[in-house]
């Protein structure tokens, strides 16, 4: 590792200096397993963020899907440490953030705590209610209360008057990997063709609300179809943003904790499937 010296002649790691400036070194691989990352994640959770609250119906749906596919059931929780990094890198101080697939409370609470204006949209009333309850508990003395709208992003975003968001940031449903509800307009319960049509429309409407020079960042991951092959969700996401007039600007790999991956490896490799321990961070820029 390259070293430099401070004014007293002590050696300092360049990574330490980069963390001072950028929170995490701005490299194309982000490793959530490091001590510094886990320490920041614990610090955020101490605020009282409980993103799993309001996701009871998701857990039930995941149990049903797991039994059908003979796989382990889980409900994904967004990483608050990743929010902090993305906001710091791609949104100006006090900027406006639009999240068309808000889900749990994490992205909104981190944004508000850091002084950003956040607007998240989710179709499930129970999720919006629990998000607001958490935010009101946490934001007694510090930050800006995030704003959430209950509704279908495909219908809510276009008529909004705001057209000056600095960042579009979200983690969309990975097709039907997690089914959030059986509500009309919930794209997680659609066939992939229907999903893609609505998904592309929501991306276009979101990007239309973005300032010139602004960024859109989506955290996405590949999904296997019924035949066991990847469906191409990541390239479909890239094409959707390109068709919305956005330039494909950066891509990073988010390395996740191994967790149960070691236990699943033997079973997966019987059919030649690698155990997935990463997600894709896709960054797009709106030029003139």
Question: What is the domain-level CATH number for residue 125?
Answer: 3.40.50.150
- What per-residue confidence (pLDDT) applies to 65? 41
Which structure tokens are listed for 40? Answer: 């920041």
Q: Report the C-alpha gap between 54 and 42 in whole angstroms.
A: 21
User: Is residue 145, in this structure, part of any structural domain at all?
Assistant: yes
- What per-residue confidence (pLDDT) applies to 150? 96
Closest CA to 53 of 153, 132, 151: 132
Q: Three-state DSSP class for 7?
A: coil
User: Is residue 180, in this structure, part of any structural domain at all?
Assistant: yes
User: Is residue 216, in this structure, part of any structural domain at all?
Assistant: yes
User: Is residue 193, in this structure, part of any structural domain at all?
Assistant: yes
Per the structure, the complete domain to which residue 121 belongs is given by 28-285
Number of domains in the chain: 1
CA dihedral 137, 142, 144, 147 (to 10 degrees): -10
User: Is residue 6, in this structure, part of any structural domain at all?
Assistant: no
User: What tens-digit pLDDT sequence spans the chain (288 residues)?
Assistant: 455 554 445 554 666 678 889 999 999 999 999 999 999 999 999 998 876 665 454 444 444 444 444 444 445 689 999 999 999 999 999 999 999 999 999 999 999 999 999 999 999 999 999 999 999 999 887 778 999 999 999 999 999 998 899 999 999 998 787 888 888 878 888 889 999 999 999 999 999 999 999 999 999 999 999 899 999 999 999 999 999 999 999 999 999 998 888 889 999 999 999 999 999 999 999 997
* 134 and 53 Cβ atoms separated by less than 8 Å: yes
User: Is residue 10, in this structure, part of any structural domain at all?
Assistant: no
Query: What's the whole-model pTM score?
Result: 0.86
User: Is residue 58, in this structure, part of any structural domain at all?
Assistant: yes
- What per-residue confidence (pLDDT) applies to 259? 81
**Strand (E) or helix (H) holding 172:** none
- What per-residue confidence (pLDDT) applies to 60? 40
- What per-residue confidence (pLDDT) applies to 53? 65
Q: Angle at Cα 169 formed by Cα 150 and Cα 231, nearest 5°?
A: 95
- What per-residue confidence (pLDDT) applies to 59? 42
User: Is residue 22, in this structure, part of any structural domain at all?
Assistant: no
CB half-sphere exposure, 238, CA atoms < 13 A: 12
């Amino acid at each position: 590792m390259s070293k430099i010296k401070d004014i007293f002649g002590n050696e300092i790691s360049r990574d330490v200096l980069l963390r001072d400036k950028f929170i995490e070194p701005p490299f194309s691989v982000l490793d959530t397993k490091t001590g510094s990352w886990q320490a920041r994640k614990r610090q955020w959770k101490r605020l009282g963020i409980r993103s799993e609250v309001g996701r009871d119906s998701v857990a039930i749906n995941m149990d049903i899907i797991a039994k059908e596919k003979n796989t382990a059931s889980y409900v994904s929780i967004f990483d608050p440490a990743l929010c902090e990094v993305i906001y710091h890198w791609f949104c100006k101080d006090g900027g406006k953030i639009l999240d068309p697939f808000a889900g749990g409370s994490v992205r909104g609470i981190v944004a508000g705590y850091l002084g950003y204006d956040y607007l998240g949209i989710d179709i499930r009333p129970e999720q919006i209610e629990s998000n607001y309850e958490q935010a009101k508990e946490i934001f007694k003395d510090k930050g800006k209360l995030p704003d959430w709208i209950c509704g279908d992003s495909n219908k809510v975003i276009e008529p909004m008057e705001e057209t000056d968001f600095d960042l579009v940031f979200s983690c969309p449903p990975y097709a039907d990997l997690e089914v959030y509800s059986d509500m009309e307009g919930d794209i997680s319960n659609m066939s992939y063709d229907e999903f893609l049509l609505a998904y592309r429309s929501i991306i276009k409407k979101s990007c239309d609300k973005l300032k010139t020079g602004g960024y859109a960042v989506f955290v996405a991951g590949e999904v296997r179809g019924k035949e066991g092959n990847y469906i191409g969700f990541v390239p479909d996401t890239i094409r959707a943003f390109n068709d919305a007039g956005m330039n494909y600007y950066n891509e990073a790999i988010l390395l996740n904790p191994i967790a149960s991956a070691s236990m699943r490896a033997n079973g997966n490799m019987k059919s030649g499937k690698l155990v997935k321990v990463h997600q894709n961070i896709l960054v797009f820029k709106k030029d003139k």
